[in-house]
Each structure stands twice: as structure tokens, then as C-alpha cells.
Structure 1
Amino acid sequence: MPQPTTRVRPTGCPGYSQTLTREPGSVGKARCLVRVTLAAWHLDDLADDGMLIVSELASNAVRHARSPSIRVTITRPESVRVRIGVVDKSRCLPKLREPHEEAETGRGLALVQTLATDWGVDQLPWGKRVWAELCAQERR
């Protein structure tokens, strides 16, 4: 399994990413990467929401993408802002839906929208990156 990679960002904090196979078991690995990254940044208060968000984004990519792998990215554009993204090679954009109350799926992006400060999609020449941002409380 490929190891996570790091890259120094303008905030002085490295960004973390990991390529995972497009299979259901990778969702747990994505959660672990988010938890460990936020702990390294001393942003443990964002871990629960971050793990839920990456679970939804990674689950969508596992379910709908058509490539053998997905990539999870965690960056820190500002000291109190974290961006969690999942990259896949599908050009189909996710849609925020209102599922039937008895439906077992279709609530993921609504959950992401509720938990995140902001979320969106970056279209890439070969696919897309679905991302969500969380903000920590300002530290004094």
C-alpha cells in the first residue's frame, strides 16, 4: 500500500495525501489519515467532523468513480482552516439531493454541507476533487 505523502504549504504545515484503492475498506483508511493529520496539527476538536466528512466523500468516490484508485488530501490553507478532499477520475459531478425518507443512501452531501464551513468541487482535466473545509476556534 502506498504511504501518505507530505508537502510543505504556505502556512508552514505540510499537506498530507494518500492514494487508496477504490474499495470500501479504503474509507476507514481515509478516516485514519484525517484523524492522524488533525492530531499532528493539534486540531483534535475537528477530528469527529473531519472523519465523517471524509467518510462521505470517500464512500461516494468508491461507489461512483471508475478508476482503480482515489486520492485523499488534507491541507491547511490557514492556521485555523483545514480542507479535506477526495480526488477521483470521474468527471460526473456530485449532486446534493433530498432523498426519500425511507431511502438508505443519498444523504452524504447534505451531511457534508451541514458539518463543513464550505464545500465544493474542483473540476480537473481528468476527473474532479470534491472538498470540504472545517474551521477551528481561534487559539490565543
Structure 2
Amino acid sequence: MTTTAASVGPQRCQERYAARLEAAQQARRDIASALESWGLSHLIEPAEQIVTELVANAVEHTNAATVGISVVRTGKEAVRIVVTDTSRTRPTPASPSSDDENGRGLFLVGALAHDWGSELVHGGKRVWAELRVPRNAP
């Protein structure tokens, strides 16, 4: 994973993976490594779950050849996770029945993230999620 930690500007890690299901595992590993190196190990578990869902959606629901991920430290206790692909279709939460085994990924992202969304960009879209530690957290 490519990492920048300059004294000016945010800390950032980014990588591009072949659009295969293994990409989610690689992304989890890379995100965890970045957060650990930044002293944000308490954000690893929710970040891993978020990046897993977003990468899996990009792999399963698009025809993209590659999937990009990045994590940017946006504050002392905050990061933004971004997953990019070449599809112009924005993700929308599904309406799974209680018997469905799939379709809850974006609900999980919404439950774990402070905020999340998507935006169309040149060449595709980016889906992002922000993680923050509440000010009153121990």
C-alpha cells in the first residue's frame, strides 16, 4: 500500500487491486496496517468491516477491472475510507427479506460509519465512509 505521512497535509494510504473477491481481504489488511501505524488501532475493526462491504459491492455489482481504496486521516481521531470503481451506478441500500442472506452491507456501513455516501467522478464513482471517535469516548 502506498503511504504518505508528510509534515504538511493529511496522512494517506492508497492502493489498487484486481476486482476479485480477494481484494476485500487485501484491503482489510492494508487498512489495518495504516491505522495501526497512525496509532488508531481502535478504528481497525469498524474500518475493516466497512472496507470489506464497499470493496465486495464494487467487485460484485460492477464490471470494473480494478478497485481502488484509500484511507485518509482527517483528524486526530478520524479517517475517511474511499473505494473507487469505474461504474457510474451509485450504490443504494437493498430491501432484503428476513430470509435473504445478502443485501445488508450498506446498512452495516451506515451503522458503523459516522457518515457515508457516494459521488460520481471522472471515470466512475467513489463511495466513502467516515469514522470518528466520539468526543466523549474513553
Instruction: Normalising by structure 2, report the TM-score.
Output: 0.91
Instruction: Tell me the CA shift for residue 126 of structure 1.
Output: 1.2
Runs of 5+ in structure 2 lacking a partner?
Answer: none
RMSD over aligned Cα atoms: 2.0
For the pair 1:131 / 2:128, whether they are aligned, the reply is yes
**Does structure 2 retain, via aligned residues, the 8 Å contact 1:11–1:78?**
no
CA distance in 1, matches of 2:32, 2:54: 15
- How many pairs align? 137
Percent identity (aligned): 35
Q: How does 1:59-78 map to 2 (within 5 A)?
A: 59-78=56-75
* Superposed displacement of residue 98, structure 1: 2.5
Distance, in Å, in 2 between the alignment partners of 1:18 and 1:47 is: 17
- Where 1:39 maps in the other structure, the secondary structure is helix
Q: In 2, distance between residues paired with 1:47 and 1:8?
A: 18
Q: Give the unaligned 5+ runs of structure 1.
A: none
CA 97–11 in structure 1, closer or farther in 2 if over 3 Å, else same? farther
TM-score, normalised with respect to structure 1: 0.90
| TM superposition outliers: structure 1 runs of 4+ over 6 Å | none
What are the Cα deviations for residues 47-106 of structure 1, in whole angstroms up to 9, with x where unaligned? 110000000000000101212100011001222210011100000010012211111111
Query: 1:6 offset after TM fit, Å?
Result: 2.6
1:105/1:44 Cα in 2 relative to 1: closer, same or farther (>3 Å)?
A: same
